[in-house]
Amino acid sequence: MLTAHPGLPEFDYIKPKTLAEASAFLAEHSKDARIFVGGTDVFVRMRDGFWKEKYLVDVKGLEGMKSVSFDPRAGLTIGAAVNMNQIAESAEVKAHYPLLAEAAHSVASFQLRSRATIAGNICNASPAGDTIGAGMVFGGSLSVHGVGGFRREPLDGFFLGPGRTQLQAGDVVTAVHLPLPPKGAAGKYIKLGRNNIGDLAIIGVTALGWRDGETPSGYRFRIALASVAPVPLVPVAAEKILAEKPITDAVIAEAANAAMEAATPIDDVRGSARYRKLMVRNLTKQAVAEVWGRIQ
């Protein structure tokens, strides 16, 4: 048969019935098994020949993976198999974490978002992942089931490099947690793409700000930058400026400059390193100014 596009290479589809079974199988086949949920990263990497796993392990059906729940004392829990459309449309997410709904909605197209997940976006550990920034500025963490049982992994420190994380052989992320947002917080995600739809970010800026009586400026900001370093980047110097100096347009510009200085992007097909750096400055300024306008 004539096919214009290569199909997927050979592999065996495995569907474990329990988390214990999934972790045991993944640990035993650490070299040649891979988890998938939506498969939107996995299938592309397999088809393009970058990944050659013998087993693809579908963990969508496992207990507790499909629900989103909000607890007014503890925050948000997103099952690892919850898709991006569910997040973008969830009344609770829109009410308490509109920044996350915005970031989820910015991913690809509707059809892709019915498959793509936030857990997959995080575990894929691409510095371009659109929802990682929201996870980081809210101080999120992961529930992970490994061969030794359950543990929590904070997103802070989770990313080691492109595609590399703290996850070990046998680990299955079961949920993403976001603590309660700071009182009165406002957020903004600005994604610079080549078009308005379905493209990875050339750069992305996530900003969250709130009033904070303990900082000299009276405010605190959390910022995360996408596609400007080997891992999602927190420009700590920029956050520090916004906490310490009384906020004015000039101080926001200074913080945006510090974000640009922290960025170490690469040249690639989507944009040059120089363009990326300049856009980090411009869009950080825009995102912070907008958030500040809403929390003053």
Ligand X SMILES: Cc1cc2nc3c(=O)[nH]c(=O)nc-3n(C[C@H](O)[C@H](O)[C@H](O)COP(=O)(O)OP(=O)(O)OC[C@H]3O[C@@H](n4cnc5c(N)ncnc54)[C@H](O)[C@@H]3O)c2cc1C
Cβ-based neighbours of 289, under 8 Å, separated by 6 or more: 249, 252
- In angstroms, the CA 156 to CA 269 distance is 29
Closer residue to ligand X, CB minimum distance, 40 or 141: 40
Closer residue to ligand X, CB minimum distance, 200 or 252: 200
Closer residue to ligand X, CB minimum distance, 3 or 195: 195
Instruction: Supply the minimum distance, in Å, between the C-beta of residue 89 and other proteins.
Output: 9
Residue 5 touches which of ligand X, other proteins, none (CB < 5 to 8 A by kind)? other proteins
Decide: helix, strand or coil at residue 216.
coil
Residue 1 found at the interface with other proteins (CB under 8 A): yes
Decide: helix, strand or coil at residue 95.
helix
Q: Write the single-letter amino acid at 240.
A: K
Residue 172 touches which of ligand X, other proteins, none (CB < 5 to 8 A by kind)? ligand X
Decide: 108 and 197 in contact? Cβ < 8 Å.
yes
- In angstroms, the CA 157 to CA 177 distance is 15
For other proteins, the binding residues in 38-97 under the rule CB under 8 A are 38-40, 43-44, 47, 56, 58, 85
Residue 100 touches which of ligand X, other proteins, none (CB < 5 to 8 A by kind)? none
User: Total number of residues binding other proteins (CB under 8 A)?
Assistant: 30
Decide: helix, strand or coil at residue 162.
coil
Question: Which x/- pattern, by CB under 8 A, does the window 107-146 give for other proteins?
Answer: -xxxxx-xx-------------------------------
Instruction: Supply the minimum distance, in Å, between the C-beta of residue 118 and ligand X.
Output: 7
Q: Comparing C-alpha atoms, which of 185, 58, 192 is closest to residue 117?
A: 58
CA dihedral 115, 118, 120, 123 (to 10 degrees): 170
What does the chain come to in residues? Answer: 296
Q: Write the single-letter amino acid at 231.
A: V
Closer residue to other proteins, CB minimum distance, 100 or 116: 116
Instruction: Supply the minimum distance, in Å, between the C-beta of residue 93 and ligand X.
Output: 16
Paired with 175 in beta bridges are 79, 143
Instruction: Supply the minimum distance, in Å, between the C-beta of residue 12 and ligand X.
Output: 15
Closer residue to other proteins, CB minimum distance, 88 or 186: 88
Interface ranges with ligand X (CB under 6 A)? 34-42, 44, 59, 80, 107-108, 112, 115-117, 119-121, 123-124, 128-130, 167, 172-173, 198-200
Instruction: Supply the minimum distance, in Å, between the C-beta of residue 209 and other proteins.
Output: 27
- In angstroms, the CA 137 to CA 212 distance is 15
Closer residue to ligand X, CB minimum distance, 34 or 245: 34
**Pairing outcome for strands 68-71 and 203-211:** unpaired
Instruction: Supply the minimum distance, in Å, between the C-beta of residue 45 and ligand X.
Output: 8
**Count of alpha carbons within 13 Å of 129, Cβ hemisphere only?**
30
